[in-house]
A and B are shown apart, each in its own frame.
Chain A
Amino acid sequence: MSAESLLVRKIDWGTVLDHIPAWRADQVVRLLNLESLKRDADVSVIVLYNVPSRKLGRKDIVKLYHYMVSEEEAKILALVFPQITINYIRDWKVEKHSPGLPTEIVGKIRCPETTCITNVEREPATPRYIVMREHGVIACEYCDTLLEIERIPDFLRE
Protein backbone atom coordinates (compact mmCIF):
# COMPACT_ATOMS: atom_id res chain seq x y z
CA MET A 1 0.00 0.00 0.00
CA SER A 2 1.54 3.30 -1.06
CA ALA A 3 1.76 6.37 1.08
CA GLU A 4 -0.61 8.11 -1.26
CA SER A 5 -3.42 5.64 -0.83
CA LEU A 6 -3.08 5.98 2.91
CA LEU A 7 -3.77 9.65 2.59
CA VAL A 8 -6.50 9.90 -0.03
CA ARG A 9 -8.95 7.39 -1.30
CA LYS A 10 -9.15 6.31 -4.93
CA ILE A 11 -11.44 8.11 -7.34
CA ASP A 12 -13.82 6.43 -9.75
CA TRP A 13 -13.86 9.13 -12.41
CA GLY A 14 -11.42 11.90 -13.31
CA THR A 15 -7.73 12.53 -13.82
CA VAL A 16 -4.75 11.79 -11.61
CA LEU A 17 -1.61 13.77 -12.32
CA ASP A 18 1.25 11.93 -10.71
CA HIS A 19 5.03 12.46 -10.51
CA ILE A 20 4.79 16.24 -10.39
CA PRO A 21 8.07 17.59 -8.98
CA ALA A 22 7.71 18.29 -5.26
CA TRP A 23 6.09 21.62 -4.38
CA ARG A 24 5.17 22.34 -8.01
CA ALA A 25 1.50 21.25 -7.79
CA ASP A 26 0.34 24.87 -7.53
CA GLN A 27 1.85 25.51 -10.94
CA VAL A 28 -0.16 22.61 -12.33
CA VAL A 29 -3.32 24.03 -10.76
CA ARG A 30 -2.59 27.41 -12.36
CA LEU A 31 -1.64 25.91 -15.70
CA LEU A 32 -4.96 24.08 -15.83
CA ASN A 33 -6.75 27.23 -14.65
CA LEU A 34 -8.64 25.07 -12.15
CA GLU A 35 -9.92 28.09 -10.32
CA SER A 36 -12.30 28.61 -13.23
CA LEU A 37 -14.07 25.42 -12.08
CA LYS A 38 -15.04 26.83 -8.72
CA ARG A 39 -18.69 27.17 -9.75
CA ASP A 40 -18.74 23.56 -10.90
CA ALA A 41 -20.22 21.65 -7.98
CA ASP A 42 -19.20 18.24 -9.32
CA VAL A 43 -15.50 18.84 -9.49
CA SER A 44 -13.15 18.33 -6.54
CA VAL A 45 -9.43 19.05 -6.62
CA ILE A 46 -7.18 17.12 -4.25
CA VAL A 47 -3.60 18.30 -4.02
CA LEU A 48 -0.89 16.29 -2.30
CA TYR A 49 2.43 17.92 -1.63
CA ASN A 50 5.77 16.31 -0.94
CA VAL A 51 4.64 12.68 -1.05
CA PRO A 52 7.40 10.03 -0.87
CA SER A 53 8.21 8.67 -4.32
CA ARG A 54 10.48 5.83 -5.43
CA LYS A 55 11.07 7.55 -8.76
CA LEU A 56 11.57 11.15 -7.63
CA GLY A 57 12.31 10.95 -3.91
CA ARG A 58 9.49 13.40 -3.25
CA LYS A 59 6.63 14.35 -5.54
CA ASP A 60 3.30 16.15 -5.73
CA ILE A 61 0.03 14.63 -6.93
CA VAL A 62 -3.08 16.39 -8.21
CA LYS A 63 -6.31 14.41 -8.30
CA LEU A 64 -9.12 15.89 -10.30
CA TYR A 65 -12.36 14.26 -9.29
CA HIS A 66 -14.92 14.44 -12.12
CA TYR A 67 -12.60 16.40 -14.39
CA MET A 68 -10.83 15.12 -17.49
CA VAL A 69 -7.75 17.07 -18.53
CA SER A 70 -8.02 18.01 -22.23
CA GLU A 71 -5.53 16.79 -24.81
CA GLU A 72 -4.18 20.33 -25.21
CA GLU A 73 -3.67 20.68 -21.46
CA ALA A 74 -2.07 17.24 -21.26
CA LYS A 75 0.43 18.19 -23.97
CA ILE A 76 1.43 21.37 -22.16
CA LEU A 77 1.82 19.49 -18.87
CA ALA A 78 4.03 16.95 -20.61
CA LEU A 79 6.16 19.73 -22.07
CA VAL A 80 6.64 21.64 -18.80
CA PHE A 81 6.90 18.59 -16.50
CA PRO A 82 8.52 15.84 -18.60
CA GLN A 83 8.26 13.32 -15.72
CA ILE A 84 4.54 13.80 -15.13
CA THR A 85 2.22 10.78 -15.38
CA ILE A 86 -1.31 11.47 -16.58
CA ASN A 87 -3.91 8.85 -15.66
CA TYR A 88 -7.51 9.02 -16.77
CA ILE A 89 -9.87 7.15 -14.45
CA ARG A 90 -13.17 5.85 -15.80
CA ASP A 91 -15.29 3.58 -13.58
CA TRP A 92 -12.26 2.84 -11.36
CA LYS A 93 -10.27 1.74 -14.42
CA VAL A 94 -6.92 3.48 -14.78
CA GLU A 95 -5.82 4.43 -18.27
CA LYS A 96 -2.31 5.83 -18.54
CA HIS A 97 -2.16 8.63 -21.07
CA SER A 98 0.99 9.59 -22.98
CA PRO A 99 0.29 12.82 -24.79
CA GLY A 100 2.51 14.10 -27.56
CA LEU A 101 4.18 17.48 -27.26
CA PRO A 102 2.37 20.64 -28.34
CA THR A 103 3.54 22.51 -31.42
CA GLU A 104 1.76 25.69 -30.35
CA ILE A 105 0.52 27.06 -27.01
CA VAL A 106 -2.30 29.58 -27.05
CA GLY A 107 -3.43 31.82 -24.23
CA LYS A 108 -1.93 30.20 -21.15
CA ILE A 109 1.42 31.94 -20.85
CA ARG A 110 2.19 35.63 -20.67
CA CYS A 111 5.09 36.93 -22.71
CA PRO A 112 8.24 37.63 -20.66
CA GLU A 113 8.89 40.67 -22.85
CA THR A 114 7.14 43.56 -21.10
CA THR A 115 6.89 45.59 -24.31
CA CYS A 116 5.11 42.79 -26.20
CA ILE A 117 1.70 43.74 -27.62
CA THR A 118 0.18 40.86 -25.63
CA ASN A 119 1.18 42.69 -22.42
CA VAL A 120 -0.38 46.01 -23.45
CA GLU A 121 -3.34 46.77 -21.21
CA ARG A 122 -6.78 46.23 -22.80
CA GLU A 123 -5.28 45.16 -26.13
CA PRO A 124 -7.11 41.97 -27.17
CA ALA A 125 -3.98 40.14 -28.30
CA THR A 126 -3.86 36.56 -26.97
CA PRO A 127 -0.32 35.28 -26.31
CA ARG A 128 0.64 32.53 -28.73
CA TYR A 129 3.84 30.51 -28.78
CA ILE A 130 5.58 28.17 -31.17
CA VAL A 131 7.27 25.31 -29.32
CA MET A 132 10.93 24.81 -30.28
CA ARG A 133 11.53 21.67 -28.22
CA GLU A 134 14.91 20.99 -29.84
CA HIS A 135 16.16 24.33 -28.51
CA GLY A 136 14.40 24.02 -25.14
CA VAL A 137 12.37 27.19 -25.73
CA ILE A 138 9.03 28.52 -26.84
CA ALA A 139 8.90 31.61 -29.08
CA CYS A 140 6.25 34.35 -28.86
CA GLU A 141 4.55 34.46 -32.24
CA TYR A 142 3.98 38.20 -31.89
CA CYS A 143 7.28 39.55 -30.60
CA ASP A 144 9.71 36.63 -31.22
CA THR A 145 10.91 36.62 -27.60
CA LEU A 146 12.15 33.22 -26.43
CA LEU A 147 11.17 31.64 -23.12
CA GLU A 148 12.97 28.59 -21.74
CA ILE A 149 10.55 25.69 -21.26
CA GLU A 150 11.55 25.25 -17.61
CA ARG A 151 10.62 28.89 -16.95
CA ILE A 152 7.07 28.50 -18.30
CA PRO A 153 5.53 28.06 -14.80
CA ASP A 154 6.87 31.51 -13.84
CA PHE A 155 4.90 33.10 -16.66
CA LEU A 156 1.50 31.47 -16.35
CA ARG A 157 -1.34 33.93 -16.85
CA GLU A 158 -3.47 34.69 -13.82
Chain B
Amino acid sequence: MVGLVLRSPAGGGREGDTPLALKNTIRGRDIISCRDLSRGDAELIFSLTEEVVSGAARLENTLAERKIALIFVEPSTRTFQSFYVAARSLGAEVLSIHDPEVSSIAKGETLYDTMKMIEGYGADCIVLRHPARGAARFAAEVASVPVINAGSGSQEHPTQALLDVFTIKSKLGSVDGIRVGMLGDLRFSRTIPSLCYLLSNYSNVKTYFMAPPLLQVRREIELYLSERGVEYRKVVEVDEIREVMPELDVLYVTRIQKERFPDPTEYEKVKGSYVVDARLLSYGRRELGVMHPLPRVDELSPEVDKLPNAWYFEQARNGLPLRKALLYLILGEAG
Protein backbone atom coordinates (compact mmCIF):
# COMPACT_ATOMS: atom_id res chain seq x y z
CA MET B 1 0.00 0.00 0.00
CA VAL B 2 1.44 3.30 -1.05
CA GLY B 3 0.28 6.29 0.96
CA LEU B 4 -1.23 9.02 -1.15
CA VAL B 5 0.57 12.20 -0.18
CA LEU B 6 -0.97 15.52 -1.05
CA ARG B 7 1.58 18.16 -1.65
CA SER B 8 0.45 21.72 -1.11
CA PRO B 9 2.77 24.69 -1.33
CA ALA B 10 0.11 26.71 0.46
CA GLY B 11 0.44 24.40 3.44
CA GLY B 12 -3.21 23.46 3.41
CA GLY B 13 -2.71 19.87 2.27
CA ARG B 14 -2.01 17.01 4.57
CA GLU B 15 -0.11 13.82 4.43
CA GLY B 16 -1.70 10.64 3.37
CA ASP B 17 -3.51 9.31 6.38
CA THR B 18 -7.14 8.19 6.11
CA PRO B 19 -9.09 8.32 3.91
CA LEU B 20 -6.41 9.09 1.37
CA ALA B 21 -4.01 6.38 2.48
CA LEU B 22 -5.09 4.51 -0.61
CA LYS B 23 -3.02 3.16 -3.41
CA ASN B 24 -3.23 5.56 -6.34
CA THR B 25 -4.61 3.24 -8.99
CA ILE B 26 -5.32 6.18 -11.30
CA ARG B 27 -1.82 7.56 -11.78
CA GLY B 28 -0.75 7.67 -15.42
CA ARG B 29 -3.93 6.01 -16.64
CA ASP B 30 -6.23 6.79 -19.54
CA ILE B 31 -9.83 7.48 -18.56
CA ILE B 32 -11.72 6.24 -21.61
CA SER B 33 -14.68 4.22 -20.37
CA CYS B 34 -16.38 3.71 -17.03
CA ARG B 35 -16.09 -0.02 -17.72
CA ASP B 36 -12.38 0.40 -17.05
CA LEU B 37 -13.01 1.90 -13.60
CA SER B 38 -13.40 -0.33 -10.57
CA ARG B 39 -15.32 0.65 -7.50
CA GLY B 40 -11.97 1.21 -5.79
CA ASP B 41 -10.85 3.58 -8.56
CA ALA B 42 -14.08 5.56 -8.25
CA GLU B 43 -13.91 5.68 -4.46
CA LEU B 44 -10.33 6.95 -4.62
CA ILE B 45 -11.41 9.79 -6.92
CA PHE B 46 -14.42 10.53 -4.67
CA SER B 47 -12.26 10.60 -1.52
CA LEU B 48 -9.97 13.23 -2.94
CA THR B 49 -12.91 15.16 -4.45
CA GLU B 50 -14.53 15.28 -1.00
CA GLU B 51 -11.33 16.68 0.44
CA VAL B 52 -11.15 19.28 -2.30
CA VAL B 53 -14.77 20.29 -1.62
CA SER B 54 -14.23 20.49 2.15
CA GLY B 55 -10.94 22.33 1.75
CA ALA B 56 -8.99 19.58 3.53
CA ALA B 57 -6.96 19.01 0.38
CA ARG B 58 -5.60 22.05 -1.39
CA LEU B 59 -4.05 21.07 -4.62
CA GLU B 60 -3.18 24.52 -5.93
CA ASN B 61 -0.02 24.58 -8.02
CA THR B 62 0.68 20.88 -7.53
CA LEU B 63 0.89 20.47 -11.33
CA ALA B 64 2.97 23.60 -11.94
CA GLU B 65 5.42 21.79 -14.19
CA ARG B 66 2.76 20.08 -16.28
CA LYS B 67 1.01 20.81 -19.57
CA ILE B 68 -2.59 19.73 -20.06
CA ALA B 69 -4.12 19.82 -23.55
CA LEU B 70 -7.87 20.38 -23.90
CA ILE B 71 -8.92 19.30 -27.39
CA PHE B 72 -12.64 19.92 -27.84
CA VAL B 73 -13.81 19.13 -31.35
CA GLU B 74 -17.46 19.44 -30.28
CA PRO B 75 -19.23 22.24 -28.39
CA SER B 76 -18.97 22.20 -24.62
CA THR B 77 -19.58 24.64 -21.82
CA ARG B 78 -19.36 22.89 -18.46
CA THR B 79 -16.88 20.16 -19.31
CA PHE B 80 -14.43 22.47 -21.06
CA GLN B 81 -14.67 25.24 -18.47
CA SER B 82 -14.37 22.93 -15.49
CA PHE B 83 -11.36 21.13 -16.96
CA TYR B 84 -9.82 24.49 -17.85
CA VAL B 85 -10.34 26.01 -14.41
CA ALA B 86 -9.25 22.76 -12.72
CA ALA B 87 -6.04 22.58 -14.75
CA ARG B 88 -5.22 26.25 -14.17
CA SER B 89 -5.90 26.08 -10.44
CA LEU B 90 -3.55 23.09 -10.25
CA GLY B 91 -0.96 25.37 -11.81
CA ALA B 92 -0.72 23.48 -15.11
CA GLU B 93 -0.14 25.16 -18.43
CA VAL B 94 -3.15 24.66 -20.70
CA LEU B 95 -2.97 24.07 -24.45
CA SER B 96 -6.43 24.24 -25.91
CA ILE B 97 -8.44 23.80 -29.07
CA HIS B 98 -11.94 24.86 -28.16
CA ASP B 99 -13.19 26.09 -31.48
CA PRO B 100 -12.29 23.55 -34.15
CA GLU B 101 -13.38 26.06 -36.81
CA VAL B 102 -10.24 28.11 -36.20
CA SER B 103 -7.85 25.13 -36.00
CA SER B 104 -6.43 22.76 -38.61
CA ILE B 105 -9.25 20.35 -37.74
CA ALA B 106 -11.46 22.57 -39.92
CA LYS B 107 -8.98 21.91 -42.76
CA GLY B 108 -9.53 18.19 -42.39
CA GLU B 109 -6.68 17.30 -40.06
CA THR B 110 -7.13 13.80 -38.68
CA LEU B 111 -7.43 13.05 -34.99
CA TYR B 112 -4.28 10.96 -35.39
CA ASP B 113 -2.29 13.96 -36.57
CA THR B 114 -3.78 16.25 -33.94
CA MET B 115 -2.77 13.82 -31.18
CA LYS B 116 0.77 13.51 -32.55
CA MET B 117 1.09 17.28 -32.80
CA ILE B 118 -0.22 17.98 -29.29
CA GLU B 119 2.03 15.35 -27.83
CA GLY B 120 4.94 16.89 -29.73
CA TYR B 121 4.24 20.17 -27.97
CA GLY B 122 4.90 18.44 -24.67
CA ALA B 123 1.39 17.77 -23.35
CA ASP B 124 1.49 15.52 -20.27
CA CYS B 125 -2.20 14.69 -20.55
CA ILE B 126 -4.83 15.15 -23.26
CA VAL B 127 -8.49 15.81 -22.51
CA LEU B 128 -10.50 15.04 -25.64
CA ARG B 129 -14.05 15.66 -26.76
CA HIS B 130 -14.83 14.36 -30.23
CA PRO B 131 -18.02 13.62 -32.18
CA ALA B 132 -16.91 10.11 -33.23
CA ARG B 133 -17.65 7.10 -31.08
CA GLY B 134 -14.40 5.36 -30.24
CA ALA B 135 -12.37 8.56 -30.73
CA ALA B 136 -11.01 8.56 -27.18
CA ARG B 137 -9.88 4.94 -27.33
CA PHE B 138 -8.18 5.56 -30.66
CA ALA B 139 -6.52 8.73 -29.30
CA ALA B 140 -5.26 6.76 -26.30
CA GLU B 141 -3.63 4.26 -28.67
CA VAL B 142 -1.98 7.05 -30.64
CA ALA B 143 -0.77 9.16 -27.72
CA SER B 144 1.78 7.95 -25.21
CA VAL B 145 0.46 10.30 -22.50
CA PRO B 146 -2.79 9.73 -20.57
CA VAL B 147 -5.98 10.59 -22.46
CA ILE B 148 -9.18 11.59 -20.66
CA ASN B 149 -12.41 11.07 -22.56
CA ALA B 150 -14.48 14.25 -22.21
CA GLY B 151 -17.21 12.85 -24.47
CA SER B 152 -16.88 10.50 -27.45
CA GLY B 153 -19.93 11.08 -29.63
CA SER B 154 -22.92 9.24 -28.22
CA GLN B 155 -20.68 6.60 -26.67
CA GLU B 156 -19.47 7.71 -23.25
CA HIS B 157 -18.69 10.62 -20.96
CA PRO B 158 -16.89 9.05 -18.01
CA THR B 159 -16.02 12.19 -16.05
CA GLN B 160 -19.70 13.21 -16.14
CA ALA B 161 -20.63 9.83 -14.65
CA LEU B 162 -17.96 10.23 -11.98
CA LEU B 163 -19.39 13.56 -10.90
CA ASP B 164 -22.92 12.13 -11.11
CA VAL B 165 -22.13 9.22 -8.80
CA PHE B 166 -20.10 11.50 -6.52
CA THR B 167 -23.19 13.72 -6.25
CA ILE B 168 -25.43 10.73 -5.47
CA LYS B 169 -23.00 9.53 -2.83
CA SER B 170 -22.68 12.92 -1.18
CA LYS B 171 -26.47 13.41 -1.13
CA LEU B 172 -27.50 9.91 -0.04
CA GLY B 173 -24.41 8.76 1.85
CA SER B 174 -24.23 5.53 -0.13
CA VAL B 175 -24.71 4.29 -3.66
CA ASP B 176 -25.42 0.64 -2.83
CA GLY B 177 -29.05 -0.35 -3.11
CA ILE B 178 -30.27 2.80 -4.86
CA ARG B 179 -33.06 2.89 -7.43
CA VAL B 180 -32.29 5.17 -10.39
CA GLY B 181 -34.76 6.19 -13.07
CA MET B 182 -33.16 7.39 -16.29
CA LEU B 183 -35.56 9.39 -18.41
CA GLY B 184 -35.34 10.88 -21.89
CA ASP B 185 -33.05 10.12 -24.80
CA LEU B 186 -31.18 7.07 -23.54
CA ARG B 187 -30.09 5.92 -26.98
CA PHE B 188 -28.04 8.91 -28.07
CA SER B 189 -26.99 10.19 -24.65
CA ARG B 190 -23.32 9.71 -23.85
CA THR B 191 -23.82 10.22 -20.12
CA ILE B 192 -26.24 7.28 -19.74
CA PRO B 193 -23.82 4.47 -20.76
CA SER B 194 -21.08 5.84 -18.51
CA LEU B 195 -23.48 6.20 -15.60
CA CYS B 196 -24.81 2.66 -16.07
CA TYR B 197 -21.29 1.20 -16.23
CA LEU B 198 -20.11 3.07 -13.15
CA LEU B 199 -23.22 2.23 -11.11
CA SER B 200 -22.72 -1.45 -11.97
CA ASN B 201 -19.79 -1.45 -9.53
CA TYR B 202 -22.21 -0.96 -6.63
CA SER B 203 -24.37 -3.67 -5.15
CA ASN B 204 -28.08 -4.04 -5.58
CA VAL B 205 -28.54 -0.96 -7.78
CA LYS B 206 -31.68 -1.10 -9.91
CA THR B 207 -32.11 1.02 -13.01
CA TYR B 208 -35.33 2.00 -14.78
CA PHE B 209 -34.90 3.04 -18.40
CA MET B 210 -37.78 5.43 -19.03
CA ALA B 211 -37.98 6.24 -22.73
CA PRO B 212 -40.03 5.52 -25.86
CA PRO B 213 -38.83 2.47 -27.83
CA LEU B 214 -36.94 4.62 -30.35
CA LEU B 215 -34.84 6.19 -27.61
CA GLN B 216 -34.31 3.16 -25.38
CA VAL B 217 -30.81 2.14 -24.28
CA ARG B 218 -28.49 0.48 -26.75
CA ARG B 219 -28.10 -3.27 -26.70
CA GLU B 220 -24.48 -3.22 -25.57
CA ILE B 221 -25.52 -1.55 -22.33
CA GLU B 222 -28.20 -4.14 -21.65
CA LEU B 223 -25.71 -6.90 -22.40
CA TYR B 224 -23.13 -5.40 -20.05
CA LEU B 225 -25.62 -4.99 -17.22
CA SER B 226 -26.95 -8.53 -17.69
CA GLU B 227 -23.44 -9.97 -17.64
CA ARG B 228 -22.72 -8.14 -14.39
CA GLY B 229 -26.01 -9.22 -12.85
CA VAL B 230 -27.38 -5.69 -12.61
CA GLU B 231 -31.15 -5.46 -12.45
CA TYR B 232 -32.87 -3.11 -14.87
CA ARG B 233 -36.31 -2.54 -16.24
CA LYS B 234 -37.46 -0.78 -19.38
CA VAL B 235 -40.33 1.60 -18.84
CA VAL B 236 -41.80 2.41 -22.22
CA GLU B 237 -45.38 3.44 -21.56
CA VAL B 238 -45.97 6.92 -20.24
CA ASP B 239 -48.45 5.67 -17.60
CA GLU B 240 -45.76 3.35 -16.28
CA ILE B 241 -43.49 6.31 -15.50
CA ARG B 242 -45.89 7.52 -12.80
CA GLU B 243 -46.16 3.99 -11.48
CA VAL B 244 -42.43 3.58 -10.89
CA MET B 245 -41.86 7.09 -9.54
CA PRO B 246 -42.46 6.08 -5.88
CA GLU B 247 -39.67 3.49 -6.14
CA LEU B 248 -36.96 5.94 -7.18
CA ASP B 249 -34.19 7.53 -5.13
CA VAL B 250 -32.86 9.43 -8.12
CA LEU B 251 -34.47 10.58 -11.36
CA TYR B 252 -31.78 11.27 -13.97
CA VAL B 253 -33.17 13.32 -16.84
CA THR B 254 -31.61 13.71 -20.29
CA ARG B 255 -32.58 15.94 -23.15
CA ILE B 256 -34.77 14.55 -25.93
CA GLN B 257 -33.39 15.86 -29.17
CA LYS B 258 -35.93 16.59 -31.85
CA GLU B 259 -33.44 15.82 -34.64
CA ARG B 260 -33.22 12.20 -33.52
CA PHE B 261 -36.77 11.50 -34.69
CA PRO B 262 -37.14 10.52 -38.35
CA ASP B 263 -40.72 11.80 -38.24
CA PRO B 264 -41.29 15.18 -36.49
CA THR B 265 -44.84 14.17 -35.57
CA GLU B 266 -43.39 11.30 -33.51
CA TYR B 267 -41.39 13.84 -31.53
CA GLU B 268 -44.45 16.01 -30.99
CA LYS B 269 -46.27 12.95 -29.67
CA VAL B 270 -43.73 12.05 -27.00
CA LYS B 271 -42.08 15.30 -26.00
CA GLY B 272 -44.76 16.34 -23.53
CA SER B 273 -44.68 12.94 -21.85
CA TYR B 274 -41.09 13.34 -20.82
CA VAL B 275 -41.25 16.71 -19.10
CA VAL B 276 -40.23 16.65 -15.48
CA ASP B 277 -42.24 19.16 -13.48
CA ALA B 278 -43.62 19.51 -9.99
CA ARG B 279 -46.67 17.46 -10.96
CA LEU B 280 -44.61 14.45 -12.05
CA LEU B 281 -42.44 14.75 -8.95
CA SER B 282 -45.57 14.64 -6.79
CA TYR B 283 -45.80 10.94 -7.70
CA GLY B 284 -42.33 10.33 -6.28
CA ARG B 285 -40.91 10.19 -2.79
CA ARG B 286 -40.35 13.46 -0.96
CA GLU B 287 -36.56 12.90 -0.92
CA LEU B 288 -36.32 12.01 -4.61
CA GLY B 289 -33.30 13.71 -6.18
CA VAL B 290 -33.55 15.08 -9.71
CA MET B 291 -30.35 15.11 -11.76
CA HIS B 292 -29.54 16.35 -15.24
CA PRO B 293 -26.18 16.57 -17.04
CA LEU B 294 -27.31 19.93 -18.54
CA PRO B 295 -27.88 21.76 -20.80
CA ARG B 296 -31.63 21.38 -20.53
CA VAL B 297 -34.23 22.59 -22.96
CA ASP B 298 -37.89 21.81 -22.25
CA GLU B 299 -37.59 18.48 -20.49
CA LEU B 300 -36.94 19.91 -17.03
CA SER B 301 -39.29 22.63 -15.91
CA PRO B 302 -37.69 25.66 -14.17
CA GLU B 303 -40.33 25.27 -11.44
CA VAL B 304 -38.31 22.27 -10.18
CA ASP B 305 -35.30 24.56 -9.53
CA LYS B 306 -36.85 25.84 -6.32
CA LEU B 307 -37.67 22.41 -4.95
CA PRO B 308 -35.28 20.54 -2.62
CA ASN B 309 -35.40 17.72 -5.16
CA ALA B 310 -33.29 19.74 -7.61
CA TRP B 311 -29.78 18.38 -7.38
CA TYR B 312 -28.60 19.39 -10.84
CA PHE B 313 -26.87 22.66 -10.08
CA GLU B 314 -24.92 21.06 -7.24
CA GLN B 315 -24.22 18.18 -9.63
CA ALA B 316 -22.79 20.63 -12.19
CA ARG B 317 -20.74 22.39 -9.48
CA ASN B 318 -19.16 19.09 -8.49
CA GLY B 319 -17.59 18.88 -11.93
CA LEU B 320 -14.83 21.27 -10.95
CA PRO B 321 -13.52 19.62 -7.73
CA LEU B 322 -13.92 16.19 -9.27
CA ARG B 323 -11.92 17.06 -12.40
CA LYS B 324 -9.33 18.75 -10.21
CA ALA B 325 -8.97 15.59 -8.13
CA LEU B 326 -8.86 13.43 -11.24
CA LEU B 327 -6.14 15.47 -12.97
CA TYR B 328 -4.13 15.47 -9.76
CA LEU B 329 -4.44 11.70 -9.35
CA ILE B 330 -3.39 11.08 -12.96
CA LEU B 331 -0.51 13.54 -13.10
CA GLY B 332 0.45 14.44 -9.54
CA GLU B 333 3.15 12.96 -7.42
CA ALA B 334 0.74 11.19 -5.11
CA GLY B 335 1.01 7.47 -4.72
Contact = CB atoms under 8 A, between A and B. Distances in A.
Contacts of A116: 132-134
B133 A142 contact: yes
B111 A146 contact: no
B131 A141 contact: no
Interface string A51-63: 0000000000000
B112 A142 contact: no
A120 B220 contact: no
Interface in A114-155: 115-120, 122-125, 132, 135, 137, 139-146
Contact of A117 (B108, B134, B154, B193): B134
Interface centre among A115, A119, A132 (most CB of B within 10 A): A115
A144 B155 contact: yes
B133 A123 contact: no
Interface of B: 108, 110-112, 130-135, 137-138, 152-155, 193, 218-220, 223
Interface centre among B108, B134, B153, B218 (most CB of A within 10 A): B134
Contacts of B138: 117, 123, 125, 142
A113 interface: yes
Contacts, number: 62
A14 to B, nearest CB: 37
28 contacts: A115-B131, A115-B133, A116-B132, A117-B130, A117-B134, A117-B135, A117-B137, A117-B138, A118-B134, A119-B132, A123-B112, A123-B132, A125-B134, A140-B134, A142-B133, A142-B134, A142-B137, A143-B133, A143-B134, A143-B152, A143-B155, A144-B133, A144-B193, A144-B220, A145-B218, A145-B220, A146-B219, A146-B220
B223 A122 contact: no
A116 B111 CA distance: 13
Nearest to A127: B134
Nearest to B226: A135
Nearest to B153: A115
A123 B138 CA distance: 10
Contacts of B219: 146
Contact of A124 (B110, B155, B220): B110
Contacts of B130: 117
Contact of B223 (A115, A135, A141, A142): A135
B133 A117 contact: yes
Contacts of B108: 122
Contact of A120 (B111, B193, B218, B223): B111
A146 B155 CA distance: 13
A85 B301 CA distance: 62
Contacts of A113: 133
Interface in A54-100: none
Contacts of B155: 143-144
A119 B112 CA distance: 14
Contacts of B153: 115, 143
A135 B130 CA distance: 30
A146 to B, nearest CB: 5
B220 A141 contact: no
Contacts of A117: 111, 130, 132-135, 137-138
A-B complex: 6 closest residue pairs judged by Cβ atoms: A142-B134, A143-B133, A143-B134, A117-B134, A117-B132, A125-B138
Given A123-B111, A124-B110, A139 B131 contact: no
B130 to A, nearest CB: 8
Contacts of A139: 220
A117 B138 CA distance: 8
B137 A141 contact: yes
A125 to B, nearest CB: 5
Contacts of B152: 143
Nearest to A123: B110
Interface centre among A116, A137, A142, A144 (most CB of B within 10 A): A144
Contacts of B135: 117
Contacts of A132: 223
